[in-house]
């Protein structure tokens, strides 16, 4: 690796790793959205099948781990630093973000069977796919924007080094990997 090449964040930088996860969520949500540009009412071509499979694997396996990182480990740690009055907006935001995870799951449940059909080589109703993926992509994008603009900076500003280390350890354990490896 070239000395000027930035290294990917690892569990020693849990906020950086969460930010990188957000980039992957965005990538796979965009990939799902781009599938709407293809012929979907006929058996899909192999690249469409493969892309549908990639989206399915990401949102079935990695995304739930990411939500657990936030709900089980990040949000409770951050809440301990908040005072309900002066931090009222942030307290409300954290509750809203956590609630949005349920909405994201609902949007995913609507999109998943369409992606499964595509991966298996079956045509789907293009209108149904476009509607499901539009709702899913819009919800993901809005959620990520709020987390990147407000949640992650608040965590960086308020969590102690020991809390960040504990967050990284919990994230690594959730994935069954060593402390220095990323997901």
Q: What is the pTM of this model?
A: 0.89
pLDDT at site 181: 45
CA atoms within 13 A on the CB side of 78: 25
Task: For each of the domains in the chain, give its residue range(s) and CATH number, in order of start.
Answer: 14-174 (1.20.120.520)
| Residue 46 · residue 126 · CB < 8 Å | no
**What whole-number distance in Å separates Cα of residue 148 and Cα of residue 97?**
11
pLDDT digits (tens, 9 = 90+) for 94-130: 999 999 999 999 999 999 999 999 999 999 999 999 9
pLDDT band of 163, cuts 50, 70, 90: very high
Q: Which of 24, 6, 15 is nearest to 171 (CA)?
A: 15
**What whole-number distance in Å separates Cα of residue 76 and Cα of residue 134?**
31
| Residue 110 · residue 132 · CB < 8 Å | yes
- Measured in whole angstroms, the distance separating CA 19 from the mean position of its chain's CA atoms is 9
């Amino acid at each position: 690796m070239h000395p000027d090449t930035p290294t990917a964040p690892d569990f020693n930088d849990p906020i950086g790793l969460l930010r990188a996860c957000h980039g992957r969520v965005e990538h796979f949500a965009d990939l799902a959205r781009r599938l709407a540009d293809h012929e979907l009412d006929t058996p899909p071509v192999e690249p469409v099948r493969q892309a549908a499979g990639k989206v399915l694997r990401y949102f079935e396996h990695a995304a739930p781990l990411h939500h657990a990182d936030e709900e089980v480990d990040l949000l409770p740690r951050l809440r301990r630093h908040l005072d309900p009055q002066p931090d009222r907006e942030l307290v409300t935001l954290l509750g809203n973000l956590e609630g949005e995870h349920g909405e994201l799951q609902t949007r995913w449940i609507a999109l998943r069977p369409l992606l499964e059909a595509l991966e298996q080589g079956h045509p789907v109703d293009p209108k149904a796919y476009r509607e499901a993926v539009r709702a899913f992509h819009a919800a993901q994008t809005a959620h990520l924007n709020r987390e990147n603009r407000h949640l992650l900076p608040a965590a960086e500003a308020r969590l102690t080094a020991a809390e960040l280390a504990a967050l990284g350890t919990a994230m690594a354990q959730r994935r069954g990997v060593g402390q220095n490896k990323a997901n």
